[in-house]
Amino acid sequence: MSATASDAAFVEFERVQKSYDGENLVVKDLNLSMPQGEFLTMLGPSGSGKTTCLMMLAGFETATHGEIRLDGVSINNIPPHKRGIGMVFQNYALFPHMTVGENLAFPLEVRKMGKSDRDEKVRRALDMVQMGAFAGRRPAQLSGGQQQRIALARALVFQPELVLMDEPLGALDKQLRETLQFEITNLAHELGITVVYVTHDQTEALTMSDRVAVFDDGRIQQLAPPDELYEAPQNSFVAQFIGENNTLEGVVKEIKGDTCIVQLDSGDIIDAKPVNVATVGERTRVSIRPERVEFDKNRLSPYAHTLKATVKEFIYMGDIFRTRLSVAGTEDFVIKSRNAPDQTRLTPGREIEIGWLPQDCRALDA
């Protein structure tokens, strides 16, 4: 699959493959192109190939086949320390025997920078991450969030054009993680740096990225901006992996332009948008997001099809109500509705009708 962002590519993977044993490919024929200044997240489950791609870009792993280019220059044979890339890991990787200031000065010393220039760059990098007062402390005297800020400052101190981040917020608690997500994104855009970010956390990927590459089985399944990934998944894996999703299984009965008729395994007939189906008689998995389903009769008039449903569970979640239903043979169909004064609260056992617009219902691969 080719995934191109721009003719003026800053980071490029061209037909890149990686095998550790000479037989099994963990990255399969990867083509990926990034413009300068983009924040791209590689998202996927464990073993999907995302971290291997990051490590090949950093130079810690070698591609078995294909070429990786940075600003038009092949970096396949350039050692990691000569690639000029900033790195941030989950475990911070700070030197415990050095102060914060010394940790930040280290990459500048390696680059033979004079002391006054070093001091100025260290001060500026610490100010960027709001840690200016901590230069004299040791890593052990800092909290996890403070250590991660220092690790970020160290990656930025020599002003690299490309920064790679491997699950950098994985060890932090939820509130701190959310705070740092916004700080990292804002900083990257302010400085105009290109970021490749690896995570298995879909919320993190959706909130931080310009584009997300969803990996599975060593391939990019879809590469798109966050809203497009969520609203318009191209296959069943992406639909299931990104956000909460309802699926109903059936067979394609008819395809007419941008609509197809699907007979569900329960016998019900619905309209859907044919996204990843090509022929009549093909099995399909139909995908509908929980917030796109309506059950209020007053709001059902524009919906093409309705299905009978039985309420199994109604959960109050503050800003939303989450209702689990038995629909067309599945017991785990979910509706999310806004907590509004006029919104109906459903009770378990109640029989209702549900419906949705055909364009919100996507017929994907089975």
Whether residue 249 sits in one domain with residue 228: no
Q: What is the pLDDT of residue 22?
A: 87
Backbone φ/ψ region at 71: left (φ over 0), alpha (ψ -120 to 50), beta = left
Structure confidence at residue 2 (pLDDT): 40
Q: What is the pLDDT of residue 179?
A: 87
Per residue in 85-124, pLDDT (tens digit) is 998 887 767 889 999 999 999 888 888 888 888 888 899 8
Same domain, 223 and 278: no
Q: Average pLDDT, stretch 55-59?
A: 95
The string of DSSP codes covering 164-232 is EEESTTTTS-HHHHHHHHHHHHHHHHHHT-EEEEEES-HHHHHHH-SEEEEEETTEEEEEE-HHHHHHS
Co-location of 250 and 230 in the same domain: no
324 and 201 part of one domain? no
Rounded Cα distance between 268 and 273, Å, is 16
Angle at 251 between CA 246 and CA 255, to 5 degrees: 100
Taking residues 332-340, report their average pLDDT. Answer: 92
| Domain of residue 206, CATH code | 3.40.50.300
CATH of the domain at 249: 2.40.50.100
Q: With 50 as the cut, is the pLDDT of residue 6 above it?
A: no
**Res 37 pLDDT > 90:** yes
In angstroms, rounded to a whole number, what is the distance separating the alpha carbons of residues 121 and 168?
23
Q: How big, in percent rounded to 5, are the helix, strand and coil portions of the chain?
A: 30, 35, 35
Domain final residue pick, 213, 236, 259? 236
Average pLDDT over residues 205-224: 96
Residues 90 and 198 in one domain: yes
Q: How confident is the model at residue 204 (pLDDT cuts 50, 70, 90)?
A: very high
| Residue that is last in its domain, among 179, 204, 236 | 236
Tell whether 222 and 259 lie within a shared domain: no
Q: What is the pTM (predicted TM-score) of this model?
A: 0.88
Closest CA to 241 of 41, 20, 90, 56: 41
Q: Please name the residue that has the structure tokens 């004064």.
A: 341
What is the model's pLDDT at position 89? 83
Q: Is 208:196 a contact under the CB 8 Å cutoff?
A: no
Q: What is the pLDDT of residues 163-196, one digit of tens each?
A: 999 998 887 888 888 888 998 999 899 989 999 9
Residues 218 and 264 in one domain: no
For 62, the domain range is 2-236
Shared domain check, 120 and 33 = yes
Residues in the chain: 366
Using alpha carbons only, how large is the chain's radius of gyration in Å?
25
Q: What is the dihedral of CA 123, 128, 129, 134, to 10 degrees?
A: 20
Neighbours of 88 (CB within 10 A): 23
Residue 1 pLDDT greater than 70, yes or no = no
pLDDT at 236 over 70: yes
Burial of residue 303 (number of CB atoms within 10 Å: 0-12, 13-18, 19+): middle
Of the three residues 218, 236, 254, the one that is the final residue of a domain is 236
Q: Does 290 share its domain with 334? A: yes
Q: How many domains does the structure of the chain reveal?
A: 2
Are residues 95 and 130 located together in one domain of the fold?
A: yes
pLDDT band at 4 (very low <50, low <70, confident <90, very high): very low
Is 80 exceeded by the pLDDT of residue 300? no
Going 172 to 175 to 177 to 180, the CA torsion angle's sign is: negative
Residues 226, 290, single domain; the answer is: no
185 and 50 share a domain?
Answer: yes
Is the pLDDT at 322 greater than 60, yes or no? yes
> What pLDDT does 5 receive?
40
DSSP-derived secondary structure letter, 346:
P
The pLDDT tens digits of the residues spanning 307-317 come to 999 999 999 99
